[in-house]
Amino acid sequence: MVGKICGTGSYVPPHVMSNDDLAKIVDTNDAWIRERTGIGRRHIIKGETTSYMAGQAALKAVEDSGIDPAQIELILVATSSSETVFPCAACEVQKTIGAVHAAGYDLNAACTGFVLAFNTAQAYISAGIYKTVMVIGADSMSCMVDWTDRSTCILFGDGAGAAILCAEEGEPAFMAAHSDGVKGEALTGLSRHRGGWKPEGEDKESYIHMDGQAVFKFAVRKVPEIIEEVLSKADAELEDIDHFVLHQANRRIIEAVAKRLKTDISKFPMNLEEYANTSAATVPILLDELNRKGQLRRGEKVMLSGFGAGLTWAACLFEW
Strands (E), the chain: 2-11, 16-18, 41-43, 74-78, 103-107, 132-140, 158-168, 174-179, 187-189, 208-210, 243-246, 301-308, 312-319
Dist CA 307 CA 299 (whole Å):
26
Closest to 247 measured CA to CA, from 207, 279, 291:
279
Contact present, 17 and 140 (Cβ < 8 Å): no
Contact present, 271 and 148 (Cβ < 8 Å): no
Dist CA 311 CA 320 (whole Å):
28
Closest to 228 measured CA to CA, from 315, 119, 300, 311:
315
Kindly list the distances between the CA atom of residue 287 and the CA atoms of 44, 71, 114, 173, 244, in Å, as whole numbers in the listed order. 20, 22, 11, 16, 10
Q: How far is CA 120 from the centre of its chain?
A: 14
Q: Cite the active site residues.
A: 111, 247, 277
Dist CA 92 CA 30 (whole Å):
37
Long-range contact list for 237-241, CB < 8 A, 24+ apart?
A: 238/262, 238/263, 240/301, 241/267, 241/301, 241/302, 241/303, 241/317
